[in-house]
Amino acid sequence: MLKEIKIHNVIASKLPIAVVAAKYNGRYVQGLLDGVAETFNRVGMEEDEIVTIRVPGAFEIPVMAAKLAKSHTRNFGAIICLGVVVEGQTEHARLITEAVTYELARLQTDHGVPIVHEVLLVQNEEQARARCLEARHNRGNEAAQTALEMAELIQEFDKRYA
């Protein structure tokens, strides 16, 4: 059963948030981006506090996330990674998403920057529509809320213990 996204009480990040989004399966990824924007607008984040970078596909997301995580010119509160991979008749989709998942987890722990993994592996277009285009299930909203919550947690941790 598809879970409905709950709206949490989150606040705008004191640090900018980066979004890396695939162009492939653009209609669905745009739906995720719209969900992210809706949450950021709700908490009052300004446009200049959000950096959005589009990459060709899901496989290219980790390299850009790595550049952002290592950035010396800008310190990001969190990095949101958005993509949609639809399963086909071969193992290609699973291999892509497994590689992306591994790299994003590694980057997060190596650099101490929260990386929100919203690169979806779906079985069909119907699942993509439900998770990307329907407001009550939009995983972009969930990703933005997670990014804001983690950015705040990391900042509080650093203030207390770093």
| CA–centroid distance for 43 within its chain | 17
Q: Is residue 10 part of a domain?
A: no
Helix-helix angle 92-111:61-69, to 10 degrees: 10
Other beta carbons within 10 Å of 138: 22
Q: Is residue 9 part of a domain?
A: no
| For the chain, counts of helices (H) and of strands (E) | 5, 4
pLDDT score at 20 = 98
Task: Give the catalytic positions in this structure.
Answer: 92
Q: Is residue 84 part of a domain?
A: yes
Q: How many domains does the chain have?
A: 1
Structural domain harbouring 31: 17-114+121-161
Tens digit of pLDDT for each residue in 7-29? 777 888 889 999 999 999 999 99
Tens digit of pLDDT for each residue in 48-82? 999 999 999 999 999 999 999 998 778 999 999 99
pLDDT-above-90 percentage for the chain: 86
143 dihedral zone (left: phi>0; alpha: psi -120 to 50; beta): alpha
pLDDT score at 37 = 97
**Which CATH number fits the domain that encloses residue 91?**
3.40.50.960
Q: Is residue 88 part of a domain?
A: yes
Q: Is residue 39 part of a domain?
A: yes
Query: b vs e for 15-48, b when ≥16 Cβ sit within 10 Å of the residue's Cβ?
Result: bbbbbbbbebbeebbbbbbebbbebbeeeebeee
